Amino acid sequence: MFKPVLPWLGYSADGLVCKGDVVKKLWECKTLKAGKTHNAATICQHVWCMDNGKLKRKHKFYGQVQLGMVLTSINVCDFTLYCKGSDEIHTECVTLNEKFCIEMLDALAHVFFKKILPWLVKHAE
């Protein structure tokens, strides 16, 4: 049975990449409006989440991918952008960034335990 690493957080992967019975990577797929008119070769130049073909570290998708890797204990994620117009995908392999995750989890824990949980307790019926 899978035991959550941080039971107060959740994540839903779009998929898992397996080799045989072994999970090798997470899979996260986004279908953005720009995918209607751009193909896999050009989409990165037209979306706000990418910079030079890489997922921006300051973008919310990067945090989502990193959180997913932490919560599933999988250190690699295929981040894909689906281009509906050409029926192609752009794929970037994102690896776990421990420093980023420590900082993000510290911020999430602060908000959850110092702000949200006390508010929920105070307003419980």
- How many C-beta neighbours within 10 Å does residue 52 have? 7
The band of 8, judged by pLDDT with boundaries at 50, 70 and 90, is confident
Half-sphere exposure of 8 (CA within 13 A, CB side): 9
Q: Which of 2-6, 35-39, 40-44 has the lowest mean pLDDT?
A: 2-6
Tokens of 73: 């204990």
What's the mean per-residue pLDDT of the chain? 93
| Closest by CA position to 99, among listed 73, 74, 66, 77 | 66
